[in-house]
Amino acid sequence: MAELELLLMQHAINTGATVFVCVEGVYSMDGHLAPLDQLSVLCRQYGAMLVVDDAHGTGVMGANGSGTAAHFNCSQEVDITMGTFSKVFATCGGFLAGAKPMINYLRFHARPYIFSAAIPPTVIAAVLGGLEVMEQEPWLQQQLLDNTRYAIDKLAAYEFCATPQAAIICLKLSPKMDIRKAALLFHQRDIFINAIEYPAVAANRQRFRISLMATHTKEDIDCLAEAVEAVWSEAFIYND
């Protein structure tokens, strides 16, 4: 945050330029949150615009899954919120929300939008159905967060890439671990975990990313923990 303030002083005050601070609500490759409450204060102080990609926060964080900004009680301080329909809504497409003048400007000046086709009605129906579930079945969100806490406790013996704060848990690998061999062992145990390899992350920061669901049971998470213990202890996956 201190470094960001120095950058804002340098670019927003000294040059008078329009400055955008762009962050993820939930960081998809680590699982921690951007401190939007602190970021929003700095952006207002220095006249910068706050842009939040909340792909992994929508449906997970905040009241009724309304997002990471709602979790920090600063929704009105975010200038642009964007997200995807491919995560919690399990379909395709995405959204971008902000003040009406800004959205109208983007409609006519954002090159990727100008010649894009409209979202199919089936996608709209799926998203509306998902919003209805989020509003009327809040226990699903609570179950998801409960499952995440349970999984964090079960995996506490392993090193996380960051302190998990949402529904993503990223396990750091030993530098000698062969991630593809380890992924094969998980597959053979009927466990699906995203193997995050270079260039999605730095070559020395490959990791396994675990995405929890509300429908997972405690037994499912116990099986996951047992699989991680077995894979981590398998000499086959380590390079000499």
**Domains of the chain: which residue ranges?**
2-136, 139-237
CA 200 vs. chain centroid, Å, equals: 14
| Confidence tier at 142 by pLDDT (50, 70, 90) | very high
Predicted confidence at residue 17, as pLDDT, reads 78
Q: In the structure encoding, which two tokens stand for residue 136, read together?
A: 């009327």
What sign does the dihedral 66-68-71-76 (CA atoms) show? negative
The overall average pLDDT reported for the chain is: 94
Rounded distance between C-alpha atoms, residue 145 and residue 211, angstroms:
11
| R_g (Cα) of the chain, nearest Å | 20
**13 has pLDDT over 80:** no
115 band by pLDDT with thresholds 50, 70 and 90: confident
pLDDT at 127: 97
Alpha-carbon gap, residue 12 to 32, rounded angstroms = 27
Does pLDDT of 15 surpass 80?
no
Is 168 a residue whose pLDDT tops 90?
yes
* Low-confidence winner among 126-135, 196-205, 223-232 (lowest mean pLDDT): 196-205
Q: Which CATH topology does 2-136 take? A: Aspartate Aminotransferase; domain 2 (3.40.640)
Using 50, 70 and 90 to split pLDDT, how confident is the model at 114?
Answer: confident
Q: Is the pLDDT of residue 240 over 80?
A: no
Contact 172, 232 (CB under 8 A): no
Domain range 139-237, its CATH number among 3.40.50.1980, 3.90.1150.10, 3.40.50.720, 3.10.20.600: 3.90.1150.10
Q: Note the pTM of the prediction, 2 decimals.
A: 0.90
